[in-house]
Structure 1
């Protein structure tokens, strides 16, 4: 297993995979050798991990998040690959067909429910006109989500304001560049931005700009609200696919599925710190309220 960076959502996916394997009878140290490495946000390191794993010829390689998946798919056309937490597997050129991936690759997509996110933002901040979106232009999933938001913006009568950050050290400056230009900040499931989320949250608090997120783990860390997946469950869904491969199915014959199950998380403490009040109707729907 190789993941582009360590943050709560991706770590939860990794843990969910391990749990699903254990439940299927594959136990680390018993009948399974389980290796896991993080590229610490560096695509070049992700490529090195992929090459190393290919040299060890494992039964399956499991990349978590788009940059790691791209590195692994580029490194092998023979070893089975089951990716997870990939926003747009077609756009990232991991596969050519969702129903019939072909070759040695399949997996689970975590494409964000963007319409739900825009509805939630407008419900909590009805006056919103401009939404700032920090993203890494070099991360295919972040770029795909930004493009989708820009396409949807006219229907929701909002303007999307970009704030590029190519590495985690640039995230605070990217968030700061939005001050005075936007009504809210939306953090997509872009691993570079999420890995430095606290910097965005602080900018939101200091300047009374509400910060929303594309994943619920980020709400626990300080974003105001999100409708998102339980990444531990995404891991379990991915683990079920890995088990099918371990039992002999070809990855290319297994359809790529979107993750299922979404929850509403709300952080009222952060909302107060950022100058907004979460409506009772939103709170009543929340699976989890952090206060």
Structure 2
């Protein structure tokens, strides 16, 4: 009898080691495989990806050691995003990191019938995107971080810099639910600061030049959302605005580096780090994605570009410069 119990215990221990006691054990090489799907190629989403990898590394998941990444970029195409998600599921990755709303929607929709958890980042409104419920609990095996815009602070900042401005123009993609949500909030708060919002919806990237020209004839300034299609074409927008000497405000640090006048925005690298740490909890078996409420990054900071201000003949008030997290004195590509 003692011998039988001993053998049984050995079998149980062996099974426990193979399954990792609920942790992801990785493939044959012992490495965890993570599929990173990024919807578009621009600075803020790139920073999310870099931060995500850093957050994992801080929790012990280091590339080349015990984790490998499959990275794909959808280049702002919804069909490509779905194909990327389909490939990740077919390859049986251990976890999917979905960067930006369209990618997150594609990843969750494709992976929800599998056991693959989806961790999203840079999703402004997870509830509207049907990734979470109103109490922030997940819609399924999916969770992550939100980059909700600090709209009130942004409007206050614009009023401080442009005391005489009346109309703010916003370009947005009609296919991005988060952009539609942000437009609604801008309209609700604009009158508080004496502004009128003039919006222009676009369907594809090719619409942006004409829509920008039209909008610039109607407004005193532009402000960007975190709209991936629009931000991917930011150089075009900035060039056209510069020709008319109209300031463009960004929604995060990278847009200010590239030529926006200023922003009350988030640090997307830090957003990525938080997301990576959430993913590590899932990989370690400490929590299930389906049990984790999504998290919102609340800390917005002021960023300004003195070179852009000089070209526009605008003086950024001392009160903003003094409180700035970072000021830039040149425009970078």
The offset of 1:74, in angstroms, is 1.0
Please, what TM-score do these two structures have when normalized by structure 1? 0.96
Q: Which moved more, 1:167-176 or 1:59-68?
A: 167-176
The number of equivalent residue pairs is 291
Partner of 1:227: 264
Alpha-carbon distance in 2 for matches of 1:284, 1:169: 40
Alpha-carbon distance in 1 for matches of 2:123, 2:215: 27
Post-superposition Cα deviations, 1:5-48, rounded to whole Å, max 9, x if no partner, equal: 11111001100111111121112222112111100110110011
Alpha-carbon distance in 1 for matches of 2:193, 2:168: 11
Quote the RMSD (CA, aligned, Å). Answer: 1.3
> Is residue 258 of structure 2 the alignment partner of residue 203 of structure 1?
no
Larger-gyration structure (1/2): 2
Alpha-carbon distance in 1 for matches of 2:270, 2:197: 31
Partner of 1:172: 209
Q: Which moved more, 1:160-169 or 1:130-139?
A: 160-169
Partner of 1:245: 282
> Is residue 293 of structure 2 the alignment partner of residue 255 of structure 1?
yes
User: What pairs up with 1:10-159 in 2 under 5 angstroms?
Assistant: 10-77=45-112, 78=114, 79-159=116-196
Do 2:121 and 2:145's aligned partners in 1 also have CA atoms closer than 8 Å?
A: yes
Classify 1:201/1:102 alpha carbon distance in 2 versus 1 (closer, same or farther; 3 Å).
closer
The offset of 1:102, in angstroms, is 4.9
Do 1:207 and 1:274's aligned partners in 2 also have CA atoms closer than 8 Å?
A: no
Please, what TM-score do these two structures have when normalized by structure 2? 0.84
The offset of 1:172, in angstroms, is 2.3
The offset of 1:208, in angstroms, is 1.2
Q: Which moved more, 1:73-82 or 1:148-157?
A: 148-157
Partner of 1:276: 314
Post-superposition Cα deviations, 1:183-219, rounded to whole Å, max 9, x if no partner, equal: 1101111011111111111122110111101112100
Partner of 1:289: 327
Do 2:200 and 2:215's aligned partners in 1 also have CA atoms closer than 8 Å?
A: yes
Alpha-carbon distance in 2 for matches of 1:289, 1:96: 38
> Is residue 217 of structure 2 the alignment partner of residue 184 of structure 1?
no
The offset of 1:98, in angstroms, is 4.1
Alpha-carbon distance in 2 for matches of 1:262, 1:162: 24
Unpaired runs of 5+ residues, structure 2, are 1-35
Partner of 1:267: 305
The offset of 1:157, in angstroms, is 2.1
Alpha-carbon distance in 1 for matches of 2:133, 2:262: 34
The offset of 1:173, in angstroms, is 2.0
The offset of 1:155, in angstroms, is 2.2
